[in-house]
Amino acid sequence: MVKSVDLSVDIGPKLKLKNPVMNASGTFAYGEEFARFMDLGCLGAVVTKGLSLEPKCGNPTPRVAEAPSGMLNAIGLENVGLERFLEEKLPFLKRYDVPVIVNFFGASETEYARMAGRLDQTVVDALEMNVSCPNVKKGGIQFGRDPYTLASLVKVVRGQTSKPLIVKLSPLTSDIAEMARAAEEYGADALTCINTIPAMAVDEETLRPVLGNITGGLSGPAIKPVALKMVWETARAVKIPVIAAGGIACARDAVQFFLAGARACQIGTQALVEPFCFDPVIAGIEDYLKHHGFERLTDIVGALKV
């Protein structure tokens, strides 16, 4: 058995993580709440709740619901807005020795570009761009559903920032590899794969939808097999790092995604169930590597035998 292992990974040319485990955007708020339960410094990186230029109120309640092996959420990207984040939330996160990745979104290329340009002037370490948003200037089609729309967006945003740019891919596409290649060609440094899957729940007693927004996003273990397939397809299609997201609840899950080609992973829904889950996942990954004789995490990235 190997006595010590190297868990560090590079996510693009300018972002090095001491370990591959981070939280997923949207389930961790801005880190302050989880800091009561854990040392944020144990993570490879902290990913913020999605940010927009202006504050956003989100959808009507109820906004969350349980689902078999997962949960539904229809928060609606509620957030405090960019300026308040920079003034009130970012200083807290920078107390910790951990990279801060800001997830952001917009309703047009112009909004995305303004966000990237503004964030480029701050002390955040990287940007994660949520492309599962409707493009209001092109009939409401999601930026992440059409490769030409995505390529145009990535190109515009790339021109506004020199910070590492991570594109969080949508599962709502017939060919995620095509989307991944488009993002890579036009400047993405890494890809997060995947976002939640649209779903709904019905209350048969009231004859009404459970969520106030009617539909929401499905996350948790229920989507893990879908995410695993899409990570594998994405990693085979591009040369840039892939970050896995979707149903990761334990070290075993994380290792499976690494074997499929991911270089890092994000834990979302499980953190809401078990806020203390991050340390055991990191320790479990290390134990797996030691037990199987691997000296570095990178030794198992993409090692799936097919």
Which active-site residues does the annotation give? 133
Instruction: Give the torsion through C-alpha atoms of 59, 131, 302, 265, to 10 deg.
Output: -40
Closest by CA to 300, choosing from 20, 3, 17, is 20
**Inter-residue contact 103 to 130 (CB < 8 Å):** yes
Closest by CA to 247, choosing from 278, 225, 273, 264, is 225
The C-alpha atoms of residue 254 and residue 260 are separated, in whole angstroms, by 10
Angle between helices 251-259 and 278-291 (to 10 degrees): 60
The C-alpha atoms of residue 216 and residue 295 are separated, in whole angstroms, by 41
Burial class (CB in 10 A: 0-12, 13-18, 19+), 93: buried
Collapsing DSSP to helix, strand or coil, 221 comes out as helix
The C-alpha atoms of residue 17 and residue 99 are separated, in whole angstroms, by 8
